[in-house]
Amino acid sequence: MIRKIAILLLVPAVGYVGWVIILNMSGGSGGPAPAPQRAEVPVPRPIPLGRQEQLVIPVSGVRPDQLSDTFDDARGEGRVHDAIDIMAPRGTAVIAAAAGTIEKLFDSRLGGRTIYIRRLGGQWMDYYAHLDSYVTGLAEGQKVVQGQLIGTVGSTGDASPEAPHLHYAINMMAPGESWWQGRAINPYPLLVRR
Ligand SMILES: [Zn+2]
């Protein structure tokens, strides 16, 4: 008699747990997701920095121990650097840190001759500035592979002619953002890790 009562109590309890699991699963996949109502509903997040592909140092012949972290340096007019400066003689080869598509070739007062390359997947934009020259034939829409020659180091824009360097930045792009947008992340730890 006691065992029978126990079973009668157990059956609806198992049934309830089963329904809770099914309801939770159906909310998390497929179709346009309803607005999250609980903290445990998965929210799409940017790829963690540590899981970016391994980058190559975008100036030919420069070793990791020759880099210095200038990401947080002040740059006047209330600006922060938000990039790394890689010092090298004028004319040194600038190569693509990662594969991607050239989204914009742009001449600006501060950056001088610049290249914006959006990586495969669209979430990261690599920015190369103060170039002395573009490699011949470089064009917007062109795909580049990692390590491909894209230009040469210079001091165009707001850079000292006595200290040619590549100004290299990585911007994290939200969906729909254009080449001049994004949020800078520090390239230094990504370039020195091995
Ligand atoms: Zn710089």
In Å, how far from its chain's centre is CA 41?
25
* Statement: residue 145 has pLDDT above 70: yes
Q: What is the pTM of this model?
A: 0.74
pLDDT in tens, 51-64: 667 899 999 999 99
Residue carrying the six token digits 């309890």:
13
What is the C-alpha to C-alpha distance for residues 10 and 26, in angstroms, rounded to an integer? 25
| Reported confidence tier of residue 22, pLDDT bands at 50, 70, 90 | very low
Do the beta carbons of residue 84 and residue 64 sit within 8 Å? no
Neighbours of ion ligand 1 (CB under 5 A): 83, 85, 167
CA of 192 to the centre of ligand 1 (A): 17
170 CA to centre of ligand 1 in angstroms: 12
Residue 162: is its pLDDT beyond 90?
Answer: yes
Output the pLDDT for position 53: 77
Which position has the higher pLDDT, 2 or 21?
2
Distance 85 CA to ligand 1 centre (A): 5
pLDDT at 159 over 60: yes
